Amino acid sequence: MSNLHARFAELHTAHALLVLPNAWDAGSARLAQEQGAQAVGTTSAAMAWSCGYADGSALPRISLLQRVAEIVHATSIPITVDIEDGYSDDPQQVAALAVSLAELGVVGINLEDGTGAPALLADKIAAIRAALAGRPFFINARTDVYLRGLAEGQAAVAMTVERLQAYAAAGADGAFVPGLKEPGDIAAVVAGITLPLNVMWLPGIGTHAELLAAGVRRLSAGPALYAHAWSAVETATRAMFDDTLAMPAPPPSYAALNALFG
């Protein structure tokens, strides 16, 4: 676990951008690993949907832990887990969940402020640090200033920086700002914080090289890969009913797929 954590932390300071595919089950996580991912993050939305729940802290804790255990079992690279707001407003309950995830072998979490008070997320981060008692664990603090449109222009930059500075002081290791994509805003946020910045892939967000030049250290997909998978299965299912379904070319063999999980 400590070696995986160290490797994950180092990926945030390497010369290359950390491209972090987002998985929702053991199969999608292993597929990302087979495609060369150096680490994998879960997507809370797709994980909830794939378990039959809506996104938004509705996924039962037992379902989350079971799915994460399956992902860790199927992979050999660092795994970080999106736990939304921690599924509780009680910092001690959130800390207990983080400890349970650490015991499963994950290297870290995403934890968001959403519409809650920034002080609450800071309290959750501090509680996790206290509960882990020095155990290495990468806490990626997410602020939804841009995603939820809490401010605009320079006010959005200032609010984002203020929140991320508070989360860093509480013990966060990384900063995640979904919805942030304009190069000037990215550079301004990077200049105001000490944490490595994670942004989420969105249309028009720029190339890997452009993001790296602006100071971004980590790019994640959110639910985008799940959306692609859903669309492909939807198309194939419709083709089956239309009697036009054909195998992909070349198709993955049963033996090859089965061997990944043997």
Can you give the pLDDT of all 262 residues of the chain as single tens digits?
A: 579 999 999 999 999 999 999 999 999 999 999 999 999 999 999 999 999 999 999 999 999 999 999 999 999 999 999 999 999 999 999 999 999 999 999 999 999 999 999 999 999 999 999 999 999 999 999 999 999 999 999 999 999 999 999 999 999 999 999 999 999 999 999 999 999 999 999 999 999 999 999 999 999 999 999 999 999 999 999 999 999 999 888 888 999 999 999 8
**Structural domains of the chain in order of their starting residue, each with its CATH number:** 2-260 (3.20.20.60)
The half-sphere exposure of 193 on its side-chain side, counting CA atoms within 13 A, is: 33
258 and 27 in contact (C-beta within 8 Å)?
no
What stretches of the chain adopt beta strand conformation (E)?
18-20, 22-23, 40-42, 79-82, 108-112, 138-142, 174-176, 197-200, 216-220
Q: Return d(Cα 242, Cα 236) in angstroms, integer.
A: 10
Q: Which of 128, 98, 112 is nearest to 177 (CA)?
A: 112
Please, is 197 exposed, middle or buried when counting C-beta atoms within 10 Å of its C-beta (0-12, 13-18, 19+)? Answer: buried
